[in-house]
Structure 1
Amino acid sequence: MYFLTFSLHFDREPGLDQGRLCLRHLEKGTLQIWEATSATDKKQYKENFHEKGGFIPPEYRVPGLKSWTVNTKPISMPDIPGVAGNFYKIDPYEVKTDQGGSRGDFGIHKDANVPGSMGCIVMSPERFQKFEKEMTELAKDGVTSLPLFVTYS
């Protein structure tokens, strides 16, 4: 079974902090690691996943959510500023956090505008190209979606 993990430290230094998006397999272990981020540098602080524009919330802070799910088939969004290419949708579309924050419309995409995101997981165009290659291979092998687990420290 394949799955993704995303981990990042809460703001520890000035500027945009980077985390790690990992492709893992239950039996084979960690297969790929990409540097990635969520939120913008001004929104990377503790507990901001309850606010619009903050980090993607960890699933354990969303009542009833066992894991996020990432679709392996992308949605083409070439004309959307900040995405300017493929968007790997993260489900569910909208959630309420345990503090009542309404969050949603998340995905994984290249960082195509200002550094960071409004809660999506983003990476440089070069890293995203490698991520897309892996997703394409998984889709060819019949994998339609991957669980995603999110943690912060």
Structure 2
Amino acid sequence: MTAHNLFFTMRLRAAAELLVGNLQLMYPDGNKINYTATSGCAGWQQEGDQWQRGKGPIPQGFDYKIPTTPYWSDTRGIEGNFFHITPDPVVSPTGLTRSEFGIHFDAGFPGSAGCIVFDREFGWGRFCERMRAIALSGVEYIPLQVVYS
């Protein structure tokens, strides 16, 4: 049996509108739950934007993980449960850094400053319920893989 895993995938391209991707939660038995999610701001979701602080999507290529138990954040645009993504910060091959990523509900202007965000309350609620159940089973962290096409 494999462990729980999270996979965030999105097609990066030039677009004026906000692009959406898929966050998949995989259970050890192979069961998969898919959620609509995004990362980055409209107009800043191209391949080269991954290192644009405050605008681009979360960079791919790191061994990310998230805790199964969130913390509460009063930060504007989050204002709720926040699953902090680590490592924090991440550094590009040229020395650029990005930090403070998480998975949360998009409580502000659509899009994110690099976090993976949900725009549908129902999906967000179900994700939080599933993460709580996983935490209660004794799992503290889940690996997260970010892949762009």
Question: What is the TM-score of this pair, normalised by structure 2?
Answer: 0.91
Q: Which amino acid aligns with 1:98?
A: P
Q: Which amino acid aligns with 2:67?
A: N
Cα distance in 2 for residues equivalent to 1:99 and 1:145: 29
Which residue of structure 1 lines up, in the alignment, with residue 67 of structure 2? 71
Q: Which has more strand, going by share of residues? A: 1
Match of residue 103, structure 2, among 108, 111, 114: 108
Match of residue 130, structure 1, among 123, 126, 137: 126
Counterpart of 2:58 in 1: which secondary structure?
coil
For 1:3-152, what aligned pairs fall within 5 Å after superposition? 3-11=5-13, 13-26=15-28, 28-53=29-54, 54-59=56-61, 65=62, 67-77=63-73, 79-124=74-119, 125-152=121-148
Shift in Å, 1:24: 1.0
What stretches of structure 2 of length at least 5 have no aligned partner?
A: none
Question: What is the TM-score of this pair, normalised by structure 1?
Answer: 0.89
Contact 1:85–1:109 (CA under 8 A) maintained in structure 2: yes
Paired-residue identity, % = 34
Moved over 3 A (4+): none
What stretches of structure 1 of length at least 5 have no aligned partner?
A: 60-64
Q: CA RMSD in A?
A: 1.3
Shift in Å, 1:30: 4.2
Cα distance in 2 for residues equivalent to 1:152 and 1:45: 10
Cα distance in 2 for residues equivalent to 1:72 and 1:144: 5
Q: Which amino acid aligns with 1:93?
A: D
